Structure 1
Amino acid sequence: MPKETIFISSVQKEFVEIRQALAAYVREDDLLSLFFDAFLFEEVAATGDSPGKVYLKEVNNSAIYLGVLGADYGFEDSEGISPTEREFDAAQEYHKPCWVFIQGKQALKRHPKQLTFIEKVGEKVSRKRFESLDDLKREVYRSAILYLKQTGKIDADDFDSGTLSKSSLDDISEEALGTFVREARAKRNFPLRETDPKEKILTHLSLVRQGQLTNSAILTFGKNPQFYFPAATVKCAHFHGFKVSKPIPDYKEFGGTVFQMADDAIDFVLSKISLSTGDRSKANLVDTTYEIPRAVIAEGIINAIAHRDYYSKGSIQVSVFQDRIEISNPGSLPRELDISQLKEPHSSYPFNPTLANCMFLTGAIERFGTGIPEMFSLSAERGLRAPDFEDNKSFLVTVWRPSASTAQDAGQVTGQVTAHDTAHDTAHDTAHDRLFIDLEYMPHRLVWILDGELSRSEMMERLGLTHRTNFNVNYLDPATENNWIEMTIPDKPQSKKQRYRLTKAGLEEKQKIAHDPK
């Protein structure tokens, strides 16, 4: 099978070592070398033709244009155009696939013409940024694998649609599937019913392929997804300071279906940040609000679960620091998107489209391509620093807490943390007339938000929680055991009319919290 040529284009003087290393990588990698060779202009023997004719001819003869753009624009011909830009234009004219990689952050000082060239490239093709040679190799490898799949040269099956030969319908949880159907019918008018056979529902969702369950079927509705995919978990950690340090105050690893992992991880973060019940002097019943809008946290976590690379042996990691929340997943943006496009509504290119569709049908994902812009708008409404995104060894989302600097940036991670030196148990949001209180003991949170008589679902809704078991174990049961909360119908614990209220001890505890939230 003849190899296809990758034309490596860049300012030669700026990237002497990188050009050589990149060509060697393409030629020597066990997989890439089977399908590709690399072209470097400096390896061409001297001919009577002008350099311009040589490189334009080689662009046409090559299968792929690979551009590496840095700070320099390079030599300019009589029309003021560099060879790198000429090569890109030729690749566009010949309809060649263009892989373009930009070195450094947006703030890097670049030649004015290089800035214009980068902007021009961005209007025509997707770009990826890189910091090191290893970063560049990783991105080239991803682009090459995608190209080989799209051209049918290697198996196009991805994780989402791959099948598990050893699995069966017995691995599917009827409870999980039933809950999904109820929510999907309520949210998206899902046409099937809970009483329909498992196989019919799964087939409708494209989770059965040639009579076998797909990987996403197990992740979405499996009784024990981690039996097949041990790394498909969310690891959550809470740190009191600004960096990872031991001992870790709280660490949990959540498994189960994608829905369970999302619920547990969101609930974990909410339990670690400050909350407010508004100004009680103005209303008897007030809403509960967290220092960061719940929707911002949920979007970051659900995106990580829906779009991560499940072939990776890494897990999603959620870290709560004093000034920020970091959500990292073993995945990357699709080639069709660049980080600079995330702030505005954009087309959606799900890494796991079938799995993402299931989450969409329940309302976990509201509208494709609008979730991240909503993170920006909700953060801005609350006066928070804009979320940061980094696509490097993993995809990292940083959501900033009120204690961080409120200086807005362009949505790029700076690599530095700006924050107050000390944390506070309470913080006042003057713009919204709210006092946020930090309560690490979760039953205290339930005592704090409970006014009058509320049902279990009403208490969960006030706290922004969705996982009933988590609520019972961490909030309701210990509050009841401490005699802070009591049932209104104690002789009928399972009554549909059951409500909960503060006891005398609970009211006293609430007063203590108000005077000393620690």
Structure 2
Amino acid sequence: MGFWRAEQTLSGADIAWQKERERVCICHLADIADLKLPLIQSFLKEVESDLYGFANMDFEQLCWQMRIVDGTTEYLRPRNVGILFFNDLPQKFIPLSQIEIVQFISTPGGDKLSEKIFQGPIHQQIKDALTYVKNVILKEYIRKVPDKVKSIRFYNYPYIALKESIVNAIYHRSYEIREPVEIRIHPNKIEILSFPGPDRSIKQSDIDKGILVARRYRNRRIGEFLKELKLTEGRCTGIPKIKIAMKNNGSPEPVFETDNERSYFLTTLMIHPEATVSEQEGEQGGISHGLSHTEFSEFVSSLSQVCPKFVPSEDAAIILISARDGIDMKSLMSILNQTNRTRFRNIFIKPLIEADLLELTAPDKPTSSKQKYRATKKGLKIIDKVTNKHTLKK
């Protein structure tokens, strides 16, 4: 999938450059003990590697086989790629090696509704971020065509385009630059930002066309691991797949941007023209149920500290505010523009109940047709704290 593809034949200079890069990519802050065997075994099992069967192999030998350590007998250290994949929290050693999702009401200058930070091994970050995007951001639309039996289905954003964009950003970012991969979700577009940009040998005209081919990989071993996990193909197919996915969905052309210094790379995916932007703004930003805009924003910010990982804070806020006096499932789904009852229960309701923010009004009759949901004392306390704060100011 990558932007940067290795040519079939590398020059001597390119081979030397790659070897030197691998040599310097040692994580001097970490020790070999920071490579966690359970994570390594889980990876080997998932990719069906022959190494998974060698349970009695010496740990250092296994790490050498996987090319995740380097150095000498006296000074053996993990390589950055080993820490990024096989440590529970690589951010301790490689700061900001994470994905951050930020949602805005209207523009970057507007109030920030929510922020989600995904840490841990980078392949798990990718999976978690994709799960969040798929469950929370993506919406399917159905357009009925006159005089035709079959309706046209499309999404506000095609999943494949988002997946390829996110994986490309993780694959080709620099882990020496202390900046996260940032996914900015606006009402009318999604931006994926990473640092730095593509190689200077790539012409701006080719970038404009979405053609990014160079001889050198920035993170060759990361790409190899992602390929084994089937998260990337590693054959320069990422950008074309993004373009095809957007076209097949009826979406505008994606935009790929960088500057003359190649200091960043920004992918912009515009919302499908028929997706209801007003609905997204209205359902998520406009329902305050007696709270001022400032109070609602502060409530969302407070919830982000206790809200389950995959539940967007603004949606949780709307649910809890709506459920102060009890509300049925159908009404909640209508407020949040949700149509799949099972999905809504699993993605929104159950996690909030488990977090002790929401409760059943009839817990002894969970399947009752008269069942309602209401905010718990814990949830109400957060609301009251925000509203009382602003009441005292008046």
> TM-score per shorter chain, which class?
0.5 to 0.7
Q: Cα–Cα, structure 1 residues 175 and 157, in superposed 2: closer, same or farther, change >3 Å?
A: same
Contact 1:184–1:362, Cα closer than 8 Å, also in 2: yes
User: Does 2:43 align with 1:177?
Assistant: no
Q: Cα–Cα, structure 1 residues 176 and 450, in superposed 2: closer, same or farther, change >3 Å?
A: farther
Distance in 1 (CA, whole Å) between partners of 2:255 and 2:270 is 8
Q: Residue 402 of structure 1 aligns to which amino acid in structure 2?
A: H
Aligned to 1:381: 248
Distance in 2 (CA, whole Å) between partners of 1:312 and 1:292 is 29
Contact 1:234–1:253, Cα closer than 8 Å, also in 2: yes
1:345-360 pair list within 5 angstroms: 349-360=216-227
CA offsets, 1:93-137, max 9 Å, x none? xxxxxxxxxxxxxxxxxxxxxxxxxxxxxxxxxxxxxxxxxxxxx
Aligned to 2:315: 441
**Which is higher, the Rg of structure 1 or of structure 2?**
1
Aligned to 1:324: 189
Please, which of 37, 43, 65 is the counterpart of residue 204 of structure 1?
65
Shift of the alpha carbon at 1:346?
5.3
SS at match of 2:52: coil
Q: Residue 267 of structure 1 aligns to which amino acid in structure 2?
A: T
Aligned to 2:51: 192
Q: Cα–Cα, structure 1 residues 311 and 403, in superposed 2: closer, same or farther, change >3 Å?
A: same
Shift of the alpha carbon at 1:395?
0.6
Aligned to 1:157: 20
Contact 1:379–1:385, Cα closer than 8 Å, also in 2: yes
Distance in 2 (CA, whole Å) between partners of 1:173 and 1:476 is 32
What TM-score comes out, normalization by structure 2 length?
A: 0.61
Q: Cα–Cα, structure 1 residues 505 and 260, in superposed 2: closer, same or farther, change >3 Å?
A: farther
Please, which of 99, 104, 119 is the counterpart of residue 255 of structure 1?
119
Q: Residue 181 of structure 2 aligns to which amino acid in structure 1?
A: I
Q: Residue 423 of structure 1 aligns to which amino acid in structure 2?
A: S
User: Does 2:279 align with 1:424?
Assistant: yes
Contact 1:324–1:400, Cα closer than 8 Å, also in 2: yes
CA offsets, 1:383-426, max 9 Å, x none? 00111101223111111111489xxxxxxxxxxxxxx9x62249
Aligned to 2:388: none
Distance in 2 (CA, whole Å) between partners of 1:297 and 1:401 is 12
Distance in 2 (CA, whole Å) between partners of 1:446 and 1:161 is 51
SS at match of 1:325: strand
1:75-474 pair list within 5 angstroms: 157-158=20-21, 162-185=25-48, 190-193=49-52, 195=55, 198-210=59-71, 211-241=76-106, 243-276=107-140, 290-338=155-203, 340=206, 343=210, 349-392=216-259, 393-403=263-273, 423-425=278-280, 441=315, 448-450=339-341
Distance in 2 (CA, whole Å) between partners of 1:326 and 1:245 is 15
Contact 1:272–1:320, Cα closer than 8 Å, also in 2: no
SS at match of 2:41: helix
What TM-score comes out, normalization by structure 1 length?
A: 0.48
Distance in 1 (CA, whole Å) between partners of 2:23 and 2:155 is 34
Distance in 1 (CA, whole Å) between partners of 2:93 and 2:242 is 33
Shift of the alpha carbon at 1:276?
2.8
Shift of the alpha carbon at 1:227?
1.0
Q: Cα–Cα, structure 1 residues 175 and 151, in superposed 2: closer, same or farther, change >3 Å?
A: closer
Distance in 2 (CA, whole Å) between partners of 1:289 and 1:175 is 41
SS at match of 2:51: coil
Q: Cα–Cα, structure 1 residues 402 and 174, in superposed 2: closer, same or farther, change >3 Å?
A: same
Aligned to 1:477: 351
Greater shift, 333-342 or 304-313, is seen at 333-342
Q: Cα–Cα, structure 1 residues 508 and 383, in superposed 2: closer, same or farther, change >3 Å?
A: farther
Distance in 2 (CA, whole Å) between partners of 1:475 and 1:200 is 47
User: How many pairs does the alignment contain?
Assistant: 292
Distance in 2 (CA, whole Å) between partners of 1:505 and 1:356 is 51
Shift of the alpha carbon at 1:197?
5.1
Distance in 2 (CA, whole Å) between partners of 1:184 and 1:473 is 28
Unpaired runs of at least 5, structure 1: 1-148, 280-287, 406-419, 427-437, 452-458, 464-470, 487-501, 510-518
Identity of aligned residues (%): 18
Contact 2:114–2:313, Cα closer than 8 Å, also in 1: no
SS at match of 1:192: helix
Contact 2:184–2:191, Cα closer than 8 Å, also in 1: yes
Distance in 2 (CA, whole Å) between partners of 1:160 and 1:387 is 36
- Cα RMSD after superposing both structures: 4.3
Distance in 2 (CA, whole Å) between partners of 1:382 and 1:260 is 27
Q: Residue 205 of structure 1 aligns to which amino acid in structure 2?
A: M
Q: Cα–Cα, structure 1 residues 184 and 245, in superposed 2: closer, same or farther, change >3 Å?
A: same
Q: Residue 192 of structure 1 aligns to which amino acid in structure 2?
A: L
Shift of the alpha carbon at 1:219?
0.9
Unpaired runs of at least 5, structure 2: 1-12, 144-152, 282-311, 320-332, 374-394
Greater shift, 472-481 or 199-208, is seen at 472-481
CA offsets, 1:134-163, max 9 Å, x none? xxxxxxxxxxxxxxx8697x9973378511
Q: Residue 441 of structure 1 aligns to which amino acid in structure 2?
A: D
Greater shift, 395-404 or 248-257, is seen at 395-404
Distance in 1 (CA, whole Å) between partners of 2:40 and 2:370 is 39
